[in-house]
Amino acid sequence: MALLGLQTRPSADANPQSATGAHTILVLKQLADNFESLIAAGTKEEELQVFLKANPFILHPSAECIPKKKLGEDFVTDFVLVATTTQGPTYILVELERASHQILTKDLVLSGPVNHAIKQTRDWDVWLEKNKAYIQNKLPGFETPSYLVVIGRGNALTVEESAYLRSYNREWKNTSLLTYDDVLARFRSTIINLEAIANGAAGPQ
């Protein structure tokens, strides 16, 4: 709560106490509404990237966010998320695609844009395997990363399509595919959990 509060403070001069509790919850809810409006408008991935760069906790509640991280001269990621654990940092390389892209064809196979995005993460993985010493010098503690592709909308998927998408995700060892609605749902769930914590900390009124 404190971390998200500090990240969402309106200015450096704001009262530190306003960075927690009810103020933070209100700011996060507004950000969730803004994000929903962006994806509903079919906003290009470049604009979504700008929004997520400013509000990286939408993708991960506590990870450091590195935008446009270059992999040598060959590739550029949309984001690298660095989450700190007691065992060392974990790295998630993120590929953003358009919210307007179709995820599955009528035959329930992955669409062209999805396959292109997955291929991009595979290219990163091959490059990283070949250049371990280089990337470990750039990203301390870097070992086996995971990959996240965000593409398309999930709210229009049928029950069967959702089942196939979950099946594809189970198949991949180190890659996850989320729709923008999935990202929004996870963020709203985080807000609900934080609100419950804040209300519990406040005690009975």
Q: In the predicted model, what is the mean pLDDT of residues 10-18?
A: 40
With cut-offs at 50, 70 and 90, classify the pLDDT of residue 6. very low
Task: Outline where 72-179 has alpha helix (H).
Answer: 112-130, 132-138, 159-171
Question: CB within 8 A of 52, min separation 6: which ones?
Answer: 58, 59, 65, 79, 96
Q: Does residue 89 carry a pLDDT above 80?
A: yes
Ranked by mean pLDDT, the top range of 37-46, 57-66, 118-127 is 118-127
- CA distances (Å), origin 111, targets 3, 92, 190: 38, 23, 30
Range from 11-25, 31-45, 106-120, 172-186 carrying the lowest mean pLDDT: 11-25
Report how far residue 171's alpha carbon sits from residue 168's, in angstroms, rounded to the nearest whole number.
Answer: 5
Select the more confidently predicted residue: 42 or 28: 28
The pLDDT score that the predictor gives to residue 23 is: 87
Q: Are strands 146-150 and 88-96 parallel, antiparallel or unpaired?
A: parallel
| Contact status, residue 10 vs residue 33, Cβ threshold 8 Å | no
The domain in which residue 41 lies consists of 2-202
The pLDDT score that the predictor gives to residue 204 is: 55
The pLDDT score that the predictor gives to residue 185 is: 96
What element of type H or E holds 84?
strand 79-85
| Contact status, residue 59 vs residue 183, Cβ threshold 8 Å | yes
Percent of the chain clearing pLDDT 90 (strictly above): 67
Report how far residue 145's alpha carbon sits from residue 151's, in angstroms, rounded to the nearest whole number.
Answer: 20
What CATH number is given to the structural domain containing 80? 3.40.1350.10
| Conformation bin of residue 68: beta by default, left when phi > 0, alpha when psi is -120 to 50 | left
The pLDDT score that the predictor gives to residue 20 is: 56
pTM above 0.75, yes or no: yes
Q: Does residue 15 carry a pLDDT above 50?
A: no
Q: Does residue 90 carry a pLDDT above 70?
A: yes
Q: Does residue 16 carry a pLDDT above 80?
A: no
- 2: its two tokens: 């404190």
- CA distances (Å), origin 104, targets 41, 75, 165: 21, 26, 8
The pLDDT score that the predictor gives to residue 86 is: 83
Question: What 3-state DSSP class applies to 169?
Answer: helix
Q: How many domains does the chain have?
A: 1
Residue type for 129, please? E
Q: Are strands 175-178 and 88-96 parallel, antiparallel or unpaired?
A: unpaired
